[in-house]
Structure formats: structure tokens, C-alpha cells
A and B are shown apart, each in its own frame.
Chain A
Amino acid sequence: MNFLRGVMGGQSAGPQHTEAETIQKLCDRVASSTLLDDRRNAVRALKSLSKKYRLEVGIQAMEHLIHVLQTDRSDSEIIGYALDTLYNIISNDEEEEVEENSTRQSEDLGSQFTEIFIKQQENVTLLLSLLEEFDFHVRWPAVKLLTSLLKQLGPQVQQIILVSPQLYVPGVSRLMDLLADSREVIRNDGVLLLQALTRSNGAIQKIVAFENAFERLLDIITEEGNSDGGIVVEDCLILLQNLLKNNNSNQNFFKEGSYIQRMKPWFEVGDDNSGWSAQKVTNLHLMLQLVRVLVSPNNPPGATSSCQKAMFQCGLLQQLCTILMATGVPADILTETINTVSEVIRGCQVNQDYFASVNAPSNPPRNRPAIVVLLMSMVNERQPFVLRCAVLYCFQCFLYKNQKGQGEIVSTLLPSTIDATGNSVSAGQLLCGGLFSTDSLSNWCAAVALAHALQENATQKEQLLRVQLATSIGNPPVSLLQQCTNILSQGSKIQTRVGLLMLLCTWLSSCPIAVTHFLHNSANVPFLTGQIAENLGEEEQLVQGLCALLLGISIYFNDNSLESCMKEKLKQLIEKRIGKENFIEKLGFISKHELYSRASQKPQPNFPSPEYMIFDHEFTKLVKELEGVITKAIYKSSEEDQKEEEVKKTLEQHDSIVTHYKNMIREQDLQLEELRQQVSTLKCQNEQLQTAVTQQAAQIQQHRDQYNLLKVQLGKDSHHQGSYSNGAQMNGIQPEEIDRLREEIEKLKSNQEVLQSQLIEKESLIENLKSSQTSGMDQQFSAPASDGDSEQAAELKLELATLKSQLNSQSVEITNLQAEKQELLQKTETFAKSVPVQGDSETLAIAAKTTDVEGRLSALLEETKELKNEIKALSEEKTAIKEQLDSSNSTIAILQNEKDKLESEITDSRKEQDDLLVLLAEQDQKIVSLKKRLKDLGYPIVEEDEVESGDQEDEDDENEEADKDQDSI
């Protein structure tokens, strides 16, 4: 707290004192007043003082202000004042207005107060909860305060927000809702808050992305008119960059969410020169950078390539190329567009092919490839340095892992394809022009560009050896390789020489033919040794190193085809002229150079100024690869070399032996396969044959068995009286058939029995009915129908009798059948007997006999069939009988019905009688009463009395009879 005292002491005591007192008083009021109005006024006063007396208010009031936030949440006004005051204390933004404090001090002040504030983690949580208040006076200052806390002590505040123990909505998710706020100020400040929140914190970046940040930000950018939008667009773009840069997971999400497609409209900028405001340039810059973030060479290769493909598919690359070829685009936008296109096509064949096909618009239309137009800028001194670098980068990216492109570029230099008319300039011509121009930067760029056309491409390295140059009229043409070494030896600017040496190193590495070409010029080796051996100043050390590298390459990739410059001889030369140690030391100068590590980091040639333009990224890779092996090659003695040679030879021999054996094995394999197939087919055949054999054997066995059986039977027949069973054995079918017949007969019998029993039942029933009818006839009311009844019964009886007789006849037939069956059985017996009695006879005879027997059997079978038919006929008759029975049954039922009817009639008439009787009784009573009256009146009536009593007796009798009737029923 020393500095606090310093700040306080530094000010005049008078006003300081009174202000401090005022602040103290206000704080007391905030703390102790029970009236909300009072507290609110005090906080408002503190707010007004907080800018000018930041330190004092901060020290004395912070605690009270936090307390207000905790307790007075119901009053948005006081919360708003408190938040504003805290913001004034903590923020450094309004710095300029407070002229007394120096910048550094106030920065310290901000971070100090932030530290105090976040010491209690609950304070941050409290602030997060205040963000949920919709009231503008609360939410807005809360957003600002949180933003400035994050600006002051980002990592700490981020951590607190990340782990804030929010019960339902986690801290980060809560902040995302700010983007959806309809009030533009809050939404815009929300973007700033999220910027501060996501700064270099991968975990938070991912959560923010998960909460649909991409969608919302892209929506805002679209709403605001893409690059024509204001600073909000810029802020959104910065936030997007925060979310995507070096965050593979988010990049993947961005790609998978099809958001790349939504970037395309950003680059639909018209050709009109009017609309290039500073804001638009800034926005476009950020947009281009965002594209580059997705396809950065530092991303995992898979991720970059899938983004590149998506950018081509959705037309983003095409849109960028349009900007590239448009007129009136500001130089820095153009440069960044070139860089962006570079990274979109880098190492992606489809995109590279597309780029090669892009033509510059021209009037009248001419075939001017964009590549050529760009290269023209690269070798043009008047173009800005950064633009030239960007073009070089673009060219490098176009050729990166693009053998087809490399071939096309080299071919424009070859004699056969050079356009003699000179109508249009080719890429090759431009590169050569650059290589030998007077501008050292052009030399360097052209050399590096050409080196990239040869990168990892042995074919093009050999092709380029064919290039011949016509230097001046009259002189014979010089090879490109020769011309390079010529210029090198002329001792030009360092950039020119470094460029050419890098080109030569790339060209000669892994290409013994080029090495031979190089060594063929007798001036080259002495020049190199001279350069290396000389004791030159520091600035020449790099060139010495490169010369050493070139010489080393000439040794390492030397195939000893030139007798004067065999490996051994060159090594001896180094030993004599330079010394091995010295040579290795010089070689080491390259990788020790300060610009070397810079270039090795990124593929993009990005130099702060032209003098830093020394190393190419791909070349640094080559140096890394070769430094070790060359050192080894130089230190190796000749014997070792020879040994190695021998080893190599034996290895080659071994190789040839191995290949020989490999071939042999391959042949044998083929043979084996053939043989295997043969074996399998043979096996198949064998199996088939074997099954045939077993079948035949089985047949033979059967025959033999039959034969044996017949033999045995014959023997038996000859020795004993053939029994029925023997006969049955002769043919398995017959006894079965007979059994079946028997069963059928049995069934028929049982059926008959059942029918008979039914008949008996029916008869008894009829009997019953008859008796009941006769009893019914005895009754007083005899129905005339009863006569018919008895007649019917008689008929039925007759029918029954016929049925019986039919049945009898059937049973007779059945017995006949049985008899027949018996006969059949006997026949079979006789048949069995009739089998000729012979001893052992030949098979033929037996066979004949068998056929004989079989014939007889078939006759028998026919007979059985006939029998069956008869049985069938019988059963049909039986069913007819059954039907008759049924019909008689139904007539019986009808009779019964009629009887029932009659009975009901009887009961009816009886009822009538009863009624009459009742009437009679009533009338009697009346008569009696009348008689009584008459008596009373003194009228003698004797006769009638007697008559009455007699009547009464009659009635009684009748009643008795009716009772009897009822009983009988």
C-alpha cells in the first residue's frame, strides 16, 4: 500500500482532507441509514466523486458498495449507481480525463482494486447474478464492470467465472444471453465482455462456441451489413478470432456447423471504388484473417485440408480470387487477400488446380493467367515490399506438394514450349527475368520461387538442366545452371547470392545428374573452395556457409561419374585447401544465423523490411536434413567410404538376390495355388466316386438280403407246411391290408351296434308315446287326431321293421364279407402253400418265382380292393338307414308336438268349465238369497230347495272328476 500513501501524499492536504471527510460521511450514510432514499442519494454522491477521487472512494467505499449490491437488489437505481461507482474505481478507460494521475499509477490502481474486489469470489458470482436483471440501469453497468474486471485480471476472473457454483445456469452460459439482448448497447458491450472473457482461455472459448456463439455472431455480422457494418462487426470478428485461433475443437465445430459457407458473402465486395472506408478495410482485414485462422499451415493437416475443401465447394476461394483480380482494392487488402488465397490453396490439389485456371480479366479478353499477373508484381521493384512477399508466398503455396503445377511452371522455360512470337509473357520468362535483373530483391524472390518449382521433384530438377539462355547476340547460349554460377562468381549483393545459392542447393540435392552438370564446369569447385577458405568479414559468413553446403551436396550426392571430381578427390581438396574442421564450422554458420530460426517457424515469407529477406522456410528444412549427413560424409575416411561402397554393393547384390528369391517364391506360390486347386477338384471327384461305390454296395447288399430271404423262405416252404404267417411274411403289404380290413369291419360292427341301440331307444320312446296317447284317449276330451297318431306309430313300426330287416340284411352282408375275407386269407394260405417246393435253386429261378409271387400278390391286392369297395357300399347303405332313422325320429317329434297341443286344448276347456262353475255358484247364491227373502216375506218354496241340493251334489261330482283328470295328466 506504499503507493497509495504516495498518491495521497502527493496532493495538497487541504481539499484532500475535506473530500476524504465527505467520502467518509457518505460511506457512513450508506452503511447506517435506514432510509433507502438516503442511501441512494449517498451512493449517487459517491458516484459523482468516484472519477475525480478514485483512490479515496475506492479505499473507503468499496466494501459498502458491495454490501449495497447484496442487500438493495430490489431498487435498481441504487444498484445502478453502485455499479457505476465500482466501474469508475476499477476501470482505466476514462484515464485521459483525470489528468493528475500518471498512466502507470492508474493502471496499478485498477488492478489493485480488481484484486480486492475478486478476493471474495462471491462478488463475481454476485455480479453474474446481477446480469440477469433485465433493467437497463443494472445490466449495462454490470456488463461494463465485469468487462473491466476481465481486462484487469483476465485469467483470475475467467477461472472464477468458469467454476462459479451457479446452480442452474453456469456463468459462461449466462453471459451468452447478452448477445440476444434487444438493446443494442448491451448487445455490443456484451460482445466486448465476451472478447475479454474468451481471451486465451480454451475452455471458455469452447463453452461460448457450444452456446451457439458462432451462429449469433454471424447473424449480427449479417444484420449489420457484413464488411460495410460498423465497429460492432469489427468487435464480432475479433471475438470470432478469439474463439477460433489455435482452438482445433472450435475450428472443427465451425466447419461442421457449415459456418464457412456463411463467410462467403463477406467477400462479395463490388468493384466500386467509393466504398472503402477505414472501418470497411479493418473489417475486411479481420475477415481475411479469420479465413486464414481456419486454414493456417500450423493447424493439424486434416483440419486444414477439410476447411480448404469446404472453401472451394462453397465458392469462398472463387470469391477471394475475384477480389485478387479486381481493380481499386486497397493495397493492404490486396496483400492480405493474396496471403489468404495462398493458405486456402496450400497443399490442396483441387484448389491449386482451380487457382491455376484463374485468368485476369482483360479487355479484349486474353489468356492471362492470374499467376503470371501476380509474378509480374513480384519482380517489379515499384510494387510494395509486403505485396511482393505475399505473391511469393502465393506462388510457393501454389507449388507446395503440387507436382503438376511444378511441371507446368518448369515447362514454360523449356525450349519446346517457349512462345516465339513473344505475344504473352510466361511464368518462366518472368522468373528468369527476375533471376537476372539488377534488383536484388527480384533476384532473391525469383530464385526462391524457382527453387519451389523443384522442391522434392527429381523430374523437374533434371528438366531444368535443359534450359538454355541466350545472353547476348553472337554468343553461344548458356545453360541456366551455368548462368547462375556465373552471376554468383561476379560477387553481387548478398541477397542475390544467397538466393542463387539456395536455388543451387535445392537443385543439386538428391539429383546426381545436376551435381555432375555443376561439377562439369571446372571453374565452380575452385570458386567454392576459394569462398569457403577465405577469411572474410562477418557479413560474408552466411555466403561461406551456403558455399560449404553446396560443396557438401556435390560430395554427398556425387555418383562418381566425373573422374576429375569423384567424391574422394573433392574430400581431399577440402582437407588440403580448407581443412575438415574449418569446413564444418563454416557449414554451421547457416543454422546459427539469427534469421534462420525465424524463417524455420512459419512457411510465410514475412519480413519486417527487405534486409531481413534472407532465408526461405523450405530451405531451412533442407539444411536441417542435410547438415548432419554432410558432416558425416566429410569426416568419413576413404577406407570407410570404400567400405560403405562395398557394403552398398553387397547390399545391392543382396537386394538382387532377394528380389530373385522373391520372384521364385511368387512363382512357387502360383504353382502351389494351382496344385491346391487340382487337389481340391480331385478330392471332390474322389468323394463323388466314393458315394457312388457305397450306393452300389448298398444295392448289392439289398439284393443279397432279398436273395437270402427268398432262399430261407424257399427252404422253409419246402420243409414245412406254409403257414399263414409265412405267407404274410412273403409280402409285407398283405397282412397290413388284412389287418386294416379287419379293423374296418370291427368299426362297422360297432357302428351297427350303436345304431341298433339307438333304434331300441327310439322304439322304447315310441312305445312310451303310444302308451301316453292311449291314456290320453281315455280322457273325457278325446281328440280325433289321436287316431292319426296311432296310425303314424304303426307306420313307424312298419318302417322300423323294414329298417330292422335292412339291418339284418346288412349284417348278413357283413358276415358274407367276413366270410369272403376268410376265404381271402385262406387263399393267401393256399398261395403260400402253392409256392413250389424246391430245394436250393439258382437265383434266376428264384427271381422268376419272385415275379410269379408278386403277380399273385397283385391279384390279391385287387381282390382286397374289391372288398374295400363292397365295404364302402355297405357303409353307404348304413348311412341311408341312419337317415331313415332320423326322419322317423322327426315324425315322432311332430307327433309329440301335436300331443302337446291337444293337452293344452284340454286345459283350456277345463278352465272354461271352471269359470262356468264359478258363475253357477254365484247364481246359486243369488237364488238362495232370493229364496231367503221370499221366505222372509212368507212365501213357501219347498220344491226348488230340493232341486238345488241335487244340483250341488252334481257339481261336487264334477269337481272330483276334474281333479282326477288333473292327476292323470
Chain B
Amino acid sequence: MTYAYLFKYIIIGDTGVGKSCLLLQFTDKRFQPVHDLTIGVEFGARMVNIDGKQIKLQIWDTAGQESFRSITRSYYRGAAGALLVYDITRRETFNHLTSWLEDARQHSSSNMVIMLIGNKSDLESRRDVKREEGEAFAREHGLIFMETSAKTACNVEEAFINTAKEIYRKIQQGLFDVHNEANGIKIGPQQSISTSLGPSVSQRNCRDVASNSGCC
């Protein structure tokens, strides 16, 4: 299958927040209720459509455990997008966001799009972190925000696609060097260089990241 662009994502966040489940829901459209600890990293891929363009998403799902942290660090540099996930029913996973973000900012390229995700929105009765807190954190750090449920698939698709849209927007603005694969972006085989360079004239500041919210 041909594609216009290829984006590399990583999924990060504390252990047990549902990173692998988000990926599984996105790639296979199913939910696995049993927590199977991720060792190192696992790979998944899917094609999405943004603005009528086929975009291939390659996603690396990392292990949340502290012992794998140094391995995870190796993946920041080559990623165009990151899903930073916490569990809305466990406050400590929200409290650790700062340290995850620090890691991400330190090791990634400055343009990496980070999507903050409050997962397990189906467990409203056990909620421990208010949606407003997530929104505030995202606003403060210039992230996109969404609450999702890997179990009910609510907003899962949107989370991955909105991240892709943001990356695509940055490409349009010329903020990403699409020819440097270290940025986690690759032009598809059938794309000619002229079309990919087309809209990269305007070099605007892009801190105006819109805060997103969905059905949850």
C-alpha cells in the first residue's frame, strides 16, 4: 500500500495506564482486559487518512516500568509524535507526567507533537483525576489533550488521528524537515519532492495548540 507520509509515534506513560491496549484498539479494534506487561517495546502500524492523504502510522508501544526507562529513551529521538498516557483512576500516574514530559522534551526533537491522554474514561465511578486538571496540564505545557477509553474505543481513533493532523499541520508550515528521517517522518514512495515542499513557505510560530475534547 502506498502512502503520502509515514509518521513514527511512541506511546509513553506509567505502567498499567493502558498504552498497549490503546495500540491494540487502534490497530486491531479489540480490547484485551488482562494486563500483559510489555517487555521493552512492541510495534504496531495502521494507515489513516488526513485531508484525503494516506498516512502510515508506525507506533512503538513502550514499557511503562521504571526499569525500561532507559530503553524507552532511545525511542524519543526518532519519533514525530508521542502519546503521553495517564490513568484517570490513579492520581499517581497523573503526578508522574512531569517527569515523563521532562524525559520526552530532553530526548526528542523540539517539534515532536505530544498528545496527553487520560485513559480509562469508561471508569467514571472510580475517577481520581478531573478532566479539567488534564486540560490545565495540557494547556500549561502546550500539549493536545483528550480523554479516551481503550475498552470502549471512545476517542482512541481520534487521539491517534488528531496527533497525525497536528504533525501534518506542522509539515504544512514547514516546521518539520521531512527529508531528515531522524524526525520520525518519511515521504511516501510515490510522493514527488515538489509536492512535499509546496506549502513549507510560511514559517509561523506554532504554540497555539488547540485543546481538544471529545465524547468522554
A: which residues have CB within 8 A of B?
162-165, 167-173, 202-203, 206-207, 210-212, 215, 249-250, 252-253, 256-258
CB of B78 closer than 8 Å to a CB of A: yes
Chain A CB within 10 A, most for which of B40, B45, B70, B73: B73
- A172–B56 CA distance with the chains assembled, in angstroms: 25
B181 and A210: CB pair below 8 A?
no
- Given contacts A206-B41, A250-B43, is CB(A162)–CB(B58) below 8 Å? no
The answer, among A167, A171, A202, A207, for a CB contact under 8 Å with B75, is A207
Contact-residue size bin, chain B (C-beta under 8 Å from the other chain): 20 to 34
B181 and A215: CB pair below 8 A?
yes
- A170–B69 CA distance with the chains assembled, in angstroms: 12
The answer, among A163, A169, A202, A256, for a CB contact under 8 Å with B77, is A169
11 further interface pairs, Cβ-Cβ under 8 Å (given A171-B74, A203-B40, A249-B43): A163-B71, A167-B106, A170-B74, A173-B78, A203-B71, A206-B41, A210-B75, A249-B41, A253-B58, A256-B45, A256-B56
A163 and B42: CB pair below 8 A?
no
B71 and A162: CB pair below 8 A?
yes
13 A-B pairs (CB sep. < 8 Å): A162-B70, A168-B107, A171-B74, A172-B74, A202-B40, A203-B71, A206-B41, A212-B78, A249-B41, A249-B42, A249-B43, A252-B45, A256-B43
With both chains docked as a complex, state the minimum distance between the C-beta of A246 and any C-beta of chain B, in angstroms.
14
CB of B60 closer than 8 Å to a CB of A: yes
With both chains docked as a complex, state the minimum distance between the C-beta of B81 and any C-beta of chain A, in angstroms.
14
- Given contacts A170-B77, A170-B107, is CB(A257)–CB(B58) below 8 Å? yes
- A171–B73 CA distance with the chains assembled, in angstroms: 10
A211 and B42: CB pair below 8 A?
no
Within 8 A of A (CB), among B56-83: 56, 58, 60, 70-71, 73-75, 77-78
With both chains docked as a complex, state the minimum distance between the C-beta of B211 and any C-beta of chain A, in angstroms.
30
- B-chain residues with CB within 8 Å of residue A207 when the two chains form the complex: 71, 74-75
- A164–B75 CA distance with the chains assembled, in angstroms: 14
With both chains docked as a complex, state the minimum distance between the C-beta of B113 and any C-beta of chain A, in angstroms.
18
With both chains docked as a complex, state the minimum distance between the C-beta of B194 and any C-beta of chain A, in angstroms.
22
Q: Mark B14-54, 1 if CB is under 8 A from A, else 0.
A: 00000000000000000000000001111111000000000
The residue in chain B whose Cβ has the minimal distance to the Cβ of A164 is B70
- B-chain residues with CB within 8 Å of residue A172 when the two chains form the complex: 74
Q: Mark B123-135, 1 if CB is under 8 A from A, else 0.
A: 0000000000000
With both chains docked as a complex, state the minimum distance between the C-beta of B108 and any C-beta of chain A, in angstroms.
10
- Given contacts A168-B107, A252-B45, is CB(A173)–CB(B74) below 8 Å? yes
- A-chain residues with CB within 8 Å of residue B39 when the two chains form the complex: 202
The answer, among A165, A210, A250, A258, for a CB contact under 8 Å with B74, is A210
- A212–B186 CA distance with the chains assembled, in angstroms: 11
The residue in chain B whose Cβ has the minimal distance to the Cβ of A172 is B74
The residue in chain A whose Cβ has the minimal distance to the Cβ of B76 is A170
- B-chain residues with CB within 8 Å of residue A167 when the two chains form the complex: 106
The residue in chain A whose Cβ has the minimal distance to the Cβ of B188 is A258
A212 and B181: CB pair below 8 A?
yes
Q: Mark B103-139, 1 if CB is under 8 A from A, else 0.
A: 0001100000000000000000000000000000000
A252 and B43: CB pair below 8 A?
yes
- A258–B71 CA distance with the chains assembled, in angstroms: 26
Chain B CB within 10 A, most for which of A167, A171, A249, A250: A249
In the A-B complex, list the 6 residue pairs whose CB atoms are closest, starting with the nearest: A256-B45, A170-B74, A163-B70, A249-B43, A203-B40, A207-B74
The residue in chain B whose Cβ has the minimal distance to the Cβ of A205 is B40
- B-chain residues with CB within 8 Å of residue A250 when the two chains form the complex: 43
The residue in chain B whose Cβ has the minimal distance to the Cβ of A251 is B43
- B-chain residues with CB within 8 Å of residue A257 when the two chains form the complex: 58
With both chains docked as a complex, state the minimum distance between the C-beta of B64 and any C-beta of chain A, in angstroms.
15
- A-chain residues with CB within 8 Å of residue B56 when the two chains form the complex: 256
B70 and A210: CB pair below 8 A?
no
Chain B CB within 10 A, most for which of A171, A172, A256: A256
- A-chain residues with CB within 8 Å of residue B44 when the two chains form the complex: 252
With both chains docked as a complex, state the minimum distance between the C-beta of A252 and any C-beta of chain B, in angstroms.
5
- A212–B71 CA distance with the chains assembled, in angstroms: 16
- A171–B74 CA distance with the chains assembled, in angstroms: 8
With both chains docked as a complex, state the minimum distance between the C-beta of B9 and any C-beta of chain A, in angstroms.
11
- A202–B39 CA distance with the chains assembled, in angstroms: 10
- A171–B107 CA distance with the chains assembled, in angstroms: 12
- A162–B72 CA distance with the chains assembled, in angstroms: 10
With both chains docked as a complex, state the minimum distance between the C-beta of B2 and any C-beta of chain A, in angstroms.
9
The residue in chain B whose Cβ has the minimal distance to the Cβ of A209 is B43
- B-chain residues with CB within 8 Å of residue A203 when the two chains form the complex: 40-41, 71
- A165–B1 CA distance with the chains assembled, in angstroms: 39
- B-chain residues with CB within 8 Å of residue A211 when the two chains form the complex: 78
With both chains docked as a complex, state the minimum distance between the C-beta of A215 and any C-beta of chain B, in angstroms.
7
B78 and A210: CB pair below 8 A?
yes
- A-chain residues with CB within 8 Å of residue B58 when the two chains form the complex: 253, 256-257
B41 and A170: CB pair below 8 A?
no
Chain A CB within 10 A, most for which of B8, B40, B60: B40
The residue in chain B whose Cβ has the minimal distance to the Cβ of A247 is B43
With both chains docked as a complex, state the minimum distance between the C-beta of A125 and any C-beta of chain B, in angstroms.
12
- B-chain residues with CB within 8 Å of residue A163 when the two chains form the complex: 70-71
With both chains docked as a complex, state the minimum distance between the C-beta of A168 and any C-beta of chain B, in angstroms.
7
B73 and A170: CB pair below 8 A?
yes
- A258–B56 CA distance with the chains assembled, in angstroms: 11
With both chains docked as a complex, state the minimum distance between the C-beta of A310 and any C-beta of chain B, in angstroms.
10
The residue in chain B whose Cβ has the minimal distance to the Cβ of A257 is B58
- A256–B58 CA distance with the chains assembled, in angstroms: 8
- A-chain residues with CB within 8 Å of residue B189 when the two chains form the complex: 258
- A252–B61 CA distance with the chains assembled, in angstroms: 13
With both chains docked as a complex, state the minimum distance between the C-beta of B46 and any C-beta of chain A, in angstroms.
9
The residue in chain A whose Cβ has the minimal distance to the Cβ of B58 is A256
- A-chain residues with CB within 8 Å of residue B106 when the two chains form the complex: 167-168
- B-chain residues with CB within 8 Å of residue A210 when the two chains form the complex: 8, 41, 60, 74-75, 78
Within 8 A of A (CB), among B148-170: none
- A250–B44 CA distance with the chains assembled, in angstroms: 10
- A-chain residues with CB within 8 Å of residue B75 when the two chains form the complex: 207, 210
- A206–B41 CA distance with the chains assembled, in angstroms: 7
With both chains docked as a complex, state the minimum distance between the C-beta of A589 and any C-beta of chain B, in angstroms.
41
The residue in chain A whose Cβ has the minimal distance to the Cβ of B3 is A258
A253 and B43: CB pair below 8 A?
yes
Chain B CB within 10 A, most for which of A164, A165, A207, A250: A207
- A-chain residues with CB within 8 Å of residue B45 when the two chains form the complex: 252-253, 256
- A215–B184 CA distance with the chains assembled, in angstroms: 13
- A-chain residues with CB within 8 Å of residue B40 when the two chains form the complex: 202-203, 206
The residue in chain B whose Cβ has the minimal distance to the Cβ of A212 is B181
With both chains docked as a complex, state the minimum distance between the C-beta of B65 and any C-beta of chain A, in angstroms.
13
The residue in chain A whose Cβ has the minimal distance to the Cβ of B57 is A256
- A257–B45 CA distance with the chains assembled, in angstroms: 9
The residue in chain B whose Cβ has the minimal distance to the Cβ of A255 is B45
- A-chain residues with CB within 8 Å of residue B8 when the two chains form the complex: 210
The residue in chain B whose Cβ has the minimal distance to the Cβ of A256 is B45
- A252–B40 CA distance with the chains assembled, in angstroms: 15
- B-chain residues with CB within 8 Å of residue A206 when the two chains form the complex: 40-41, 43, 60
- B-chain residues with CB within 8 Å of residue A168 when the two chains form the complex: 106-107
- B-chain residues with CB within 8 Å of residue A173 when the two chains form the complex: 74, 77-78
With both chains docked as a complex, state the minimum distance between the C-beta of A257 and any C-beta of chain B, in angstroms.
7
Chain A CB within 10 A, most for which of B43, B44, B58, B77: B43
- A162–B71 CA distance with the chains assembled, in angstroms: 6
With both chains docked as a complex, state the minimum distance between the C-beta of A364 and any C-beta of chain B, in angstroms.
42
With both chains docked as a complex, state the minimum distance between the C-beta of B168 and any C-beta of chain A, in angstroms.
20
The residue in chain A whose Cβ has the minimal distance to the Cβ of B42 is A249
The residue in chain B whose Cβ has the minimal distance to the Cβ of A167 is B106
The residue in chain B whose Cβ has the minimal distance to the Cβ of A261 is B189
With both chains docked as a complex, state the minimum distance between the C-beta of A696 and any C-beta of chain B, in angstroms.
49
- A253–B60 CA distance with the chains assembled, in angstroms: 10
- B-chain residues with CB within 8 Å of residue A215 when the two chains form the complex: 181
